[in-house]
Amino acid sequence: MALVPMRLLLDHALKNKYAVGAYNVNNMEQIQAIMAAARETRTPVIVQASRGALKYSNFIYLKKLMEAAAIDNPDIPIAMHLDHGNSLDTCKKAIELGFTSVMIDGSLKEDSKTPTTYEENLDVTLSVIEYARPLGVTVEAELGTLGGIEDGVGSGQVHLNDPDQAVKFVRKTKVDALAVAIGTSHGAYKFKAGQAQEIRLDILREIERRIPGFPIVLHGSSSIPEEAVAQINRYGGRLKDSAGIPEAQLREAARSAVCKINIDSDGRLVMTAKIREIFALKPEEFDPRKYLGPAREALLAMYIRKNREVLGSAGRAPEIIAALDAERS
Ligand code: G3H
Ligand code: 13P
Ligand code: ZN
């Protein structure tokens, strides 16, 4: 079983100039699609669950599905990660469940809406590190806030990172990885169609220059595939026009200190598009396997493409497993 601390994956990605996909999961089909894509592309993966996902699955179901993914895929290094933990207690609970990595999002208060002060963020982050580090669990923190209020995630206010503050925060906390706000945002509505879609790679480069060799995380990195949005709307959906983070920018970021890229919305869109299509074209269908199965196939194709063409993580799993085996023998 290849459940590993996330830091191990981040270090390998950093050294080899690629990013690991951190894919959000809520159910079995998503996990199976991620793992099938990882097998097909021989890719390390970060399987992550939000607080909402854990609650939806009554904690134990998602935990067991993630463990099943690891047992079923001994050749794939997997980090089991808590996405957007909002307190020390939430992080403790995830660690007790067996997560190998946690994010403490101290950029917002526990209501996940109100921005915190720098000092409040520092305090809660330090408390999680103090608890997690002796247990070998990786800790990701966040500085600056991302947008995304339309989807009910985050404060809706965007505060881009100040490189000085990022450097100070990393030195003070000695955190394993830092999520930065450089213009990405959560959810399906990031940029209006036709608006310039630019993320601040210049801020990223400045942070990288000041703390070389330190792992950076990009949240809100879905690209909002036009075909999926069109397919949803063709079959009765009503999504507004929108655009996501261009894949070319993600590819560029992945070659830099960015070594974890979070993607959730793209999977939601692709899955919904396929299910809507089946419901519209085969209204007589009522066996969940007949629509969730094809949705899983559509997800598989999406994750394969992300691993191969966007993140550069394909083919990296054997190197990590070989290094782990050498360390153990
Ligand atoms: O960052 C947010 C993720 O997309 C998870 O969203 O809280 O709706 O599960 P969620
Ligand atoms: P997207 O909404 O862009 O997929 O971002 C997901 C994310 O950042 C999860 O933490
Ligand atoms: Zn996020």
Nearest CA to ligand 1 atom 4: 264
**Which residues, including other chains, have CB under 8 Å from residue 253's CB and lie 6 or more apart?**
19, 199, 201, 204, 218, 261
Query: Is the CB of 83 within 6 Å of ligand 2?
Result: yes
Q: Does the pTM of the predicted model rise above 0.85?
A: yes
- Bridge partner list, 104: 85, 141
Q: Using CA of residue 31, residue 34, residue 35, residue 36, what is the dihedral sign?
A: positive
Q: Is 12 in the pocket of ligand 1 (CB under 6 A)?
A: no
State how far the Cα of 321 lies from the Cα of 303, in Å rounded to an integer. 21
DSSP-derived secondary structure letter, 117 = P
Cβ–ligand 2 distance for 221 under 6 Å, the answer: yes
For the cut 80, the answer to whether the pLDDT of residue 54 exceeds it is yes
Does residue 53's CB lie within 6 angstroms of at least one atom of ligand 1?
A: yes
The best mutation among 62, 84, 111 to test binding of ligand 1, ranked by most ligand atoms within 8 Å of the C-beta, falls on: 84
The ranges assigned to domains in the chain are 6-328
Q: Which residues pair with residue 48 across a beta bridge?
A: 24, 81
Q: Is the model's pLDDT at 267 over the cut of 60?
A: yes
Residue whose entry in the numeric block shows the structure tokens 């100040």: 162
**Ligand 1 contact via 24 beta carbon (within 6 Å):** yes
Is there a contact between 107 and 143 (Cβ–Cβ < 8 Å)?
yes
Task: Answer yes or no: is the C-beta of 264 below 6 A from any ligand 1 atom.
Answer: yes
Span from the CA of 124 to the centroid of ligand 3 (angstroms): 18
Helix, coil or strand: residue 270? helix
- Higher local confidence (pLDDT), 327 or 54: 54
Helices (H), ranges, 17-58:
28-41, 51-56
Taking Cα atoms as reference points, which of 58, 166, 56, 70 lies closest to residue 118?
A: 166
Does 262 sit in the ligand 2 pocket, CB within 6 Å? Answer: yes
* Residues 280, 194: Cα–Cα separation, whole Å: 30
Report the percentage of the chain scoring pLDDT > 70.
Answer: 96
Encode pLDDT of 177-195 as tens digits: 999 999 999 999 998 877 8
Q: C-alpha 166: how far from its chain's center?
A: 20
Digit-coded pLDDT (tens) for 191-223: 887 787 889 999 999 999 999 999 999 999 999
The Cα–Cα gap between 244 and 226 comes to 9
What residues are paired with 126 via a beta bridge? none
| C-alpha distance across the termini of the chain, in Å | 16
Q: What is the pLDDT of residues 59-112, one digit of tens each?
A: 999 999 999 999 999 999 999 999 999 999 999 999 999 999 999 999 989 888
- Name the token pair of 3: 């459940």
User: For residues 303 and 245, what is the distance between their CA atoms, to the nearest angstrom?
Assistant: 16
- Is the CB of residue 28 less than 8 Å from the CB of residue 68? no
Choosing from 25, 50, 105 the residue with most ligand 1 atoms within 8 A of its CB, the one to mutate for a pocket test is 50
* Residue nearest atom 6 of ligand 1, based on CA coordinates: 50
Using a 10 angstrom Cβ sphere, with 0-12 exposed, 13-18 middle and 19 or more buried, the burial of residue 127 is middle
Q: Check pLDDT > 90 for residue 118.
A: yes
Cα separation, 8 vs 23, in Å, equals 17
CA of 213 to the centre of ligand 3 (A): 22
- Ligand 1 atom with minimal separation from the 265 CA: 4
As assigned by CATH, the class of the 6-328 domain is alpha beta
Distance of CA 149 from the midpoint of ligand 2 (Å): 12
Average pLDDT for the chain: 94
Ligand closest in space to the Cα of 184: 2
| Residue in the structure block whose two tokens are 């983070």 | 245
The 10s digit of each residue's pLDDT in 224-259 is 999 999 999 999 999 998 899 999 999 999 999 999
- Cβ–Cβ < 8 Å for 21, 307: yes
- pLDDT of 58: 97
Backbone phi, psi, residue 106, to 5°: -85, 10
- Please give the Cα distance from 261 to 220 (Å, whole number): 8
Nearest ligand 1 atom to alpha carbon 50: 9
Q: What is the pLDDT of residue 157?
A: 67
